[in-house]
Chains A and B, each alone.
Chain A
């Protein structure tokens, strides 16, 4: 059986053209392996060979992505390869982004598999991990000896259309893809086994890693509520009737900022909930049940608080990504601070 043909994509440095001063070179190709391509070639153990190398300057790629990709794909095509390997880029951001983009374009446009490697914190990792297998590497070229065999092995599996195992087994960055499989033990038993191990202080492996939540020190107490401006924020999805900004009922991609100036009570004519994760009947009848505008207005009129802020902020907390929620929170907080708000009542459902 003839060997699989592989093209290797490298930047100007690993392609042995030059350093940062050569980061602006346009794509070029060289027959056979270059630089780390030799190690890659060896790692295929005769089943595949690096027939050509395409090299492009990191800055050229970053500044001319579309034309660069077109040129690179053209050069790759000329070698008629079965697989493309890009990098590894370690923690180099421009290089990682280029490797991810090249690999993704190869898969999409040439219909052949592609593999790359980078440090998990490389910006290219988050951008391309879902569309490309990215082998997890160290943050510098010290990790070359470790990365290359893993990339070659994964490449061969893709070439031979073998089943690709879990991220842990194959060494790639988790893509967030859920794959169903039949476990030997049922879930209840696995859960109890895990709990017993935890109680005993033995090691156990979670089946679902939890996001890491940060902690912030509590703010000092409000000194005088009668002079304070209080704002309302909610994750309960309360929106003006009709949900004018189309906040999603699940996995919200945005938050809304709406005026309640002059409004003393929310009614079923004026407001509703967009939240798809709880029975909306009660909130739709009276949104004060989630966003207590009515009682805060009374307390404002009585002088118990200085002022109810003119705007409330809302999003839908149903299945919303933690990262999105954090982003919304930061933006809302900045807005509130700029507006001189003293404290916030955040309601959730």
Chain B
């Protein structure tokens, strides 16, 4: 899970989930706490989904 997807691609990550921002990849301080947590949950669900998906090469899960 990373914000700068081209970096993850360069170093060879196979399952990549783009995140919010460098200082808070899984958060957004501009949002109220409960919305921020819901956002984090959605991103982590995407990551788990990626782990459970067959891929044959580097794949970005938008």
Tell me the A residues contacting B by CB distance below 8 Å: 213-223, 225, 228, 230, 236, 278-283, 285-286, 288-290, 292, 294-296, 298-299, 304-305, 343, 345-349
15 further interface pairs, Cβ-Cβ under 8 Å (given A228-B51, A289-B24, A349-B22): A215-B12, A218-B58, A219-B14, A280-B23, A289-B29, A290-B27, A292-B26, A295-B40, A345-B1, A346-B1, A346-B13, A347-B26, A348-B25, A349-B3, A349-B23
Is A221 within 8 A of B27, CB to CB?
no
Rounded to whole angstroms, the CA-CA distance of A343 and B47 in the bound complex is 11
What are 12 A-B pairs at a CB distance below 8 A? A213-B11, A218-B57, A218-B58, A278-B22, A289-B24, A289-B25, A289-B29, A290-B25, A299-B41, A343-B51, A346-B13, A347-B25
Is B52 within 8 A of A222, CB to CB?
yes
B62 at the interface (CB under 8 A from A): no
Name the residue of chain B whose CB is nearest to the CB of A343. Answer: B51
Partner of B41, one of A214, A228, A290, A298: A298
Rounded to whole angstroms, the CA-CA distance of A271 and B26 in the bound complex is 16
Proximity bits, B1-23, A CB within 8 Å = 1, else 0: 11100011011111100010011
Q: With A218-B56, A283-B23, A290-B26 in contact, is A295–B8 under 8 Å at CB?
A: no
Rounded to whole angstroms, the CA-CA distance of A305 and B44 in the bound complex is 11
Tell me the B residues contacting A by CB distance below 8 Å: 1-3, 7-8, 10-15, 19, 22-27, 29, 36-37, 40-41, 43-45, 47-48, 51-59
Least CB distance from B58 to A in Å reads 8
When distances are taken between beta carbons in the complex, the residues of chain B under 8 Å from A222 are 51-52
Name the residue of chain B whose CB is nearest to the CB of A346. Answer: B1
Rounded to whole angstroms, the CA-CA distance of A279 and B21 in the bound complex is 11
Is A295 within 8 A of B23, CB to CB?
no
Is A216 within 8 A of B22, CB to CB?
no
Least CB distance from B44 to A in Å reads 5
Name the residue of chain A whose CB is nearest to the CB of B13. Answer: A346
Is B11 within 8 A of A289, CB to CB?
no
Name the residue of chain A whose CB is nearest to the CB of B19. Answer: A347
Interface SS majority for chain B:
loop
Q: With A289-B40, A299-B44 in contact, is A220–B54 under 8 Å at CB?
A: yes
When distances are taken between beta carbons in the complex, the residues of chain B under 8 Å from A349 are 2-3, 22-23, 25
Least CB distance from A192 to B in Å reads 21
Partner of B1, one of A225, A282, A286, A348: A348
Rounded to whole angstroms, the CA-CA distance of A221 and B40 in the bound complex is 22
Is B44 within 8 A of A345, CB to CB?
yes
Is B27 within 8 A of A213, CB to CB?
no
Partner of A295, one of B44, B56, B57: B44
Least CB distance from B56 to A in Å reads 7
Q: With A282-B29, A349-B23 in contact, is A218–B15 under 8 Å at CB?
A: yes
Is A218 within 8 A of B55, CB to CB?
yes
Rounded to whole angstroms, the CA-CA distance of A101 and B10 in the bound complex is 37
When distances are taken between beta carbons in the complex, the residues of chain A under 8 Å from B19 are 347
Is A348 within 8 A of B48, CB to CB?
no
Q: With A295-B37, A295-B44, A349-B3 in contact, is A236–B25 under 8 Å at CB?
A: yes
- For B8, B10, B13, B51, the residue with the greatest tally of chain A CB atoms inside 10 Å of its CB is B51
Least CB distance from B28 to A in Å reads 8
Rounded to whole angstroms, the CA-CA distance of A299 and B26 in the bound complex is 16
Least CB distance from B29 to A in Å reads 5
Least CB distance from A321 to B in Å reads 13
Least CB distance from A189 to B in Å reads 25
Is A213 within 8 A of B48, CB to CB?
no
Name the residue of chain A whose CB is nearest to the CB of B48. Answer: A225
Is B25 within 8 A of A345, CB to CB?
no
Rounded to whole angstroms, the CA-CA distance of A296 and B47 in the bound complex is 11
Is B12 within 8 A of A347, CB to CB?
no
Partner of A216, one of B14, B27, B36, B41: B14
